[in-house]
Amino acid sequence: MKATALAHPNIALVKYWGKRDEALILPHQSSLSLTLSPLSVTTTVEFGVSSDQVELNGHTAKGSERERVLRALETVRAEAGGKLGPARMVSRGDFPASAGLASSAAGFAALAVAARAAAGLPADPKAASVLARRGSGSACRSVQGGFCEWRRGERADGADSYAVQRFDEKHWPELRMVVAILNRDEKEVKSRDGMKHTVDTSPYYEAWARDAEVEVPRAVEIIQRKDLEALGELSERNAWRMHATAFAANPPLCYMHPNTLGLIQHLREQRKKGIPVWFTLDAGPNPVLLTDAAHEVAAEALARACGAVDVVRCVPGGDATLKSEH
Ligand code: 2P0
């Protein structure tokens, strides 16, 4: 009735930006990401306790945070036959908010794997990915390691909208992602609200969704042949296009800071000098640099030269794993 799982966050190279179904968290387009080690979230779920309890990083969760977790646990209860009783969930990340990466993706992936095990359900990456998706869309891509593709799916109930692993973490061990923390302020518009606003008001939205869909198989082909330059170029143009559709919303949505553009400009100059480093950018000001093991120190140095207050170096991470079962 109790299980603990550990999962890593992921960074999208082809981004998810916009839902066709808000309640089920179904995206308009497919996306593709890399799971990141060593950052992780560890989550314990125990059924059959006296009342529902949700604890995130040492604090009792309230409001919509608590509701999202309880809804996921309710789905597991229903699948297991409904007689598991109230649940206690305790989740803790080993990376601070200043790491610039949301812990919700790793958190809901760990929750999905732990809750299914605690309920006695069989290990099933597809079912865990669907469950994680209902908590936070990008979480469906953290159930497995390496490069994962979240297929948008076609069904109205979301049963075919989950992530599949395209290459595991051993496929391209020299690949490095360097998170450049330029600004630690909490962003004004959360991803969930920003993507809805973009879908509702950006005239570029349809073009974004169409383009992202065709970039996913191109990214898979590039990763297959481990072409860093081609992957860097694809990641940059996809990040620019996601931000462009947000810039075109009404009122406009801009997640970049002036020093985000400064760093991007600096990367271009460094590439002319032969340093293989590219960026991707989520819904925030902090770029993630894409490079190889031979250039991660150089990538960190250039991030710091552009004002990074902190830098986190990451390597391809593995599957969400069960730590213990009682
Ligand atoms: C991604 N992002 O693909 C994109 C790129 C942010 C920019 O997934 O509403 O926290 O919980 O499904 O997953 C962030 O959005 O949003 C995100 P919900 P989520 O990684």
Give yes or no for a contact between 163 and 188, defined as CB atoms under 8 angstroms apart: no
Q: Which among 22, 66, 12, 13 is positioned nearest to 195, based on CA atoms?
A: 22
pLDDT band at 103 (very low <50, low <70, confident <90, very high): confident
The residues near 192 (Cβ < 8 Å, ≥ 6 apart) are: none
pLDDT band at 60 (very low <50, low <70, confident <90, very high): very high
What's the CA-to-centroid distance between 137 and ligand 1, angstroms? 6
**Side-chain-facing half-sphere of 35: CA atoms under 13 Å:** 33
The residues near 34 (Cβ < 8 Å, ≥ 6 apart) are: 10, 11, 13, 146, 147, 175, 177, 316, 317
Q: Is 15 in the pocket of ligand 1 (CB under 6 A)?
A: yes
Is the pLDDT reported for residue 187 higher than 90?
A: no
What's the CA-to-centroid distance between 325 and ligand 1, angstroms? 30
Q: Are strands 87-93 and 53-56 parallel, antiparallel or unpaired?
A: parallel
Condensed to tens digits (0 to 9), the pLDDT of residues 121-162 reads 999 999 999 999 999 999 999 999 999 999 999 999 999 999
Among 195, 241, 243, 286, residue to substitute to test ligand 1 (most atoms within 8 Å of Cβ): 195
pLDDT at 98: 64
The string of DSSP codes covering 185-223 is SPPSS-HHHHHHHHHHH-TTHHHHHHHHHHHHHHHHHHH
pLDDT at 82: 78
Dist CA 54 CA 90 (whole Å):
6
Q: Is 138 in the pocket of ligand 1 (CB under 6 A)?
A: yes
Q: At what angle do helices 104-118 and 63-79 cross, to 10 degrees?
A: 30
Residue type at position 35 = T
pLDDT at 95: 82
- Sign of the dihedral through C-alpha 97, 194, 17, 267: negative
Please tell me the residue having the least CA distance from ligand 1 atom 7.
Answer: 282
Q: Which tokens is 38 given? A: 């060593």
Residue type at position 211 = D
Domains of the chain: 2-170 (3.30.230.10), 175-316 (3.30.70.890)
Is the pLDDT reported for residue 97 higher than 80?
A: no
Q: Which tokens is 119 given? A: 């309920």
What's the CA-to-centroid distance between 282 and ligand 1, angstroms? 8
The CA-CA-CA angle for residues 134, 169, 264, to 5°, reads 80
pLDDT at 96: 74
pLDDT band at 185 (very low <50, low <70, confident <90, very high): confident
What's the CA-to-centroid distance between 192 and ligand 1, angstroms? 7
Is the pLDDT reported for residue 223 higher than 80?
A: yes
Percent of the chain with pLDDT over 90: 94
pLDDT at 101: 80
Among 14, 64, 129, 138, residue to substitute to test ligand 1 (most atoms within 8 Å of Cβ): 138
Give yes or no for a contact between 182 and 286, defined as CB atoms under 8 angstroms apart: yes
pLDDT band at 325 (very low <50, low <70, confident <90, very high): low
Identify which has the larger pLDDT, 302 or 97.
Answer: 302
pLDDT band at 118 (very low <50, low <70, confident <90, very high): very high
Q: Which tokens is 41 given? A: 């979230």
What's this model's pTM, rounded to 2 decimal places?
0.96
Q: Is 100 in the pocket of ligand 1 (CB under 6 A)?
A: no
What are phi and psi for residue 56, nearest 5 degrees?
-120, 120
pLDDT at 168: 98
pLDDT at 31: 98
SS3 46: strand
Q: Is 147 in the pocket of ligand 1 (CB under 6 A)?
A: no
Is the pLDDT reported for residue 322 higher than 70?
A: yes
Dist CA 60 CA 296 (whole Å):
38
Please tell me the residue having the least CA distance from ligand 1 atom 10.
Answer: 136
Q: Which among 245, 307, 303, 243 is positioned nearest to 278, based on CA atoms?
A: 303
What's the CA-to-centroid distance between 238 and ligand 1, angstroms? 14
Q: Is 88 in the pocket of ligand 1 (CB under 6 A)?
A: no
Please tell me the residue having the least CA distance from ligand 1 atom 11.
Answer: 136
Ligand 1: atom nearest CA of 283 is: 7
Q: Is 31 in the pocket of ligand 1 (CB under 6 A)?
A: yes
